[in-house]
Structure 1
Amino acid sequence: MHDVLIIGGGLVGSSLAIALEGIGIDVGLVEAVAPQASRDVASSAATSGEPTSVFDGRNLSFAEATINALTALGVMQKLSVPGGAIERIHVSRQGDFGRSVLAASEHGRSEFGRVVVAHDFGQALEARLDELPRLTRYRPVRFVGLADSDDAGCRAVRIADGNGERVVRARLLVGADGTRSGVRDALGIGTHSHDYRQTLFVTRLRTDRAPDGTAYERLTDHGPTALLPRGDRHYGLVHGVARAEADAVAALDEAGFLARVQAAFGWRAGRFLSCGPRVAYPAIRVLADRATATRAVLVGNAVQTIHPLGAQGFNLGLRDALTLAELIDEARRQDPAADCGGAGLLAHYVGRRSEDRRRTLEFSDGLARLTANPSSLLRPLRSFGLLAIDQLPSLQAGIVAGALGYRADVPALCRPPALRA
Structure 2
Amino acid sequence: MSALAWIALVSLAAWLWLLLGQGLFWRTDLRLPPRRDPEDWPYVCIVVPARDEAAVLRESLPSLLAQDYPGRAEIVFVDDGSSDGTGRLARALADRHRGLPLTVTSPGEPPAGWTGKLWAVRHGIACARAAGDRKPGPRARATAREYHHDATAQTPEYLLLTDADIAHEPDNLRELVAAARSGGYDLVSQMARLRVVSAWEQLVVPAFVYFFAQLYPFRWVAEDGGRTAAAAGGCVLLRTDAAERAGVPEAIRHAVIDDVALAGAVKRSGGRIWLGLAERVDSIRPYPHLADLWQMVSRSAYAQLRHSPALLLGTVLGIAVVYLAPPVALAAGLLLGDPVAAAAGGAAWLIMTATYLPMLRYYSRTLWLAPLLPVTALLYLFMTVDSAIQHYRGKGAAWKGRTYKRPDRAEAAPDQ
Structure with the largest fraction of strand = 1
Superposition TM-score, scaled by structure 2 size = 0.26
Bigger radius of gyration: 2
TM (normalized to structure 1)?
0.26
Which is richer in helix?
2
